[in-house]
């Protein structure tokens, strides 16, 4: 059965100093070793992007770039 990977797992996996980092990396690895399908949704990607890139950090194209 496919397992949905929560956005927090993704975020903690990229933060080595986070207290849950080891679990966030180990749990998906264990599932993959058991050949369990892992899935993310477009919502996960959007949440991940917004949390990993705080406002003002990235210049987004706008009408002033035309």
Mean pLDDT within 39-48: 94
DSSP secondary structure string, the chain?
--EEPPHHHHHHHT-TTSTTHHHHHHHHHHHHHTT--EE--HHHHHHHHHHHS-TTSSPPP-GGG-
Of the two residues 59 and 42, the one the predictor is more confident about is 42
Task: Please tell me the predicted confidence (pLDDT) of residue 57.
Answer: 59
Of the two residues 56 and 15, the one the predictor is more confident about is 15
Task: Please tell me the predicted confidence (pLDDT) of residue 4.
Answer: 96
User: Could you read off the pLDDT of 2-32 as tens digits, one per residue?
Assistant: 999 999 999 999 999 999 999 999 999 999 9
Task: Please tell me the predicted confidence (pLDDT) of residue 53.
Answer: 80
């Amino acid at each position: 059965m496919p397992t949905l990977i929560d956005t927090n797992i993704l975020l903690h996996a990229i933060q080595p100093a986070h207290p849950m980092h080891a679990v966030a990396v180990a749990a998906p690895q264990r599932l993959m070793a058991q050949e369990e399908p892992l899935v993310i949704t477009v919502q996960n990607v959007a949440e991940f992007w917004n949390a990993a890139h705080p406002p003002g950090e990235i210049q987004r194209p706008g009408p002033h770039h035309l």
